[in-house]
Amino acid sequence: MTDRRGTAGIKGMAQIAIASSEPAKLSAYYRDTLGLDVMLETGGMTFFGAGGVRLMIGPAQGAEPGDKILYFEPEDFAGAEAALAAKGVAFQGPANVLQRDGAKELALRPFRDPDGNGLAILGWRPVSPEPVRG
């Protein structure tokens, strides 16, 4: 078997998101029943620590309840964008800037796999002229 790891500049899974029609109720299940630790709650979303991967539960804005999105962390955001585009990935618009911290920003760039599953790269990059939308 050939080791193709890193060919698109992806270093691992950063986050999994679950869309919910009742995010507070679903978050209570993951917290109280499964015992996951809450890392952060903001904007109707709850982020849990789940073995090195964040689990985010939030409102189903533009998604169906139960939809999941896999977020991959790139080694180099711009390099991963270019490598994925070269492999035929059609991004769903420009990157969304979620947060700024000094000379860097946290950006998210969504796309879909061939079966239509929601995917995104999520990582830090140098500050761009894009407005913060997160």
- Which backbone phi and psi does 48 adopt, to 5 degrees? -115, 150
Residue 134 — pLDDT band, cuts 50, 70, 90?
A: low
**56 shares its domain with 104:** no
Residue 63 has pLDDT above 50, yes or no: yes
Quote the pLDDT of residue 120.
92
Residue 61 — pLDDT band, cuts 50, 70, 90?
A: confident
Structural domain includes residue 1? no
Mean pLDDT, residues 71-87 taken together: 92
Bridge partner list, 129: none
Structural domain includes residue 17? yes
Q: What CATH number did the domain enclosing 52 receive?
A: 3.10.180.10
Structural domain includes residue 5? no
Between the CA of residue 106 and those of 23, 24, 62, 64, 131, what are the distances in Å?
24, 25, 22, 25, 12
3-state secondary structure of 51: coil
**59 shares its domain with 78:** no
**57 shares its domain with 78:** no
Q: What is the pTM of this model?
A: 0.75
**54 shares its domain with 80:** no
Contacts of 93 (CB under 8 A, 6+ apart): 110
Residue of 19, 129, 4 whose CA lies nearest to 70: 19
Q: What percent of the chain has pLDDT over 90?
A: 49
Structural domain includes residue 69? no
Quote the pLDDT of residue 3.
52
Residue 78 has pLDDT above 50, yes or no: yes
- Which backbone phi and psi does 25 adopt, to 5 degrees? -65, -45
- Domain count across the chain: 2
**80 shares its domain with 134:** yes
Domain range enclosing 130:
74-134
Structural domain includes residue 129? yes
Structural domain includes residue 43? yes
Q: Which residue has the higher pLDDT, 3 or 54?
A: 54
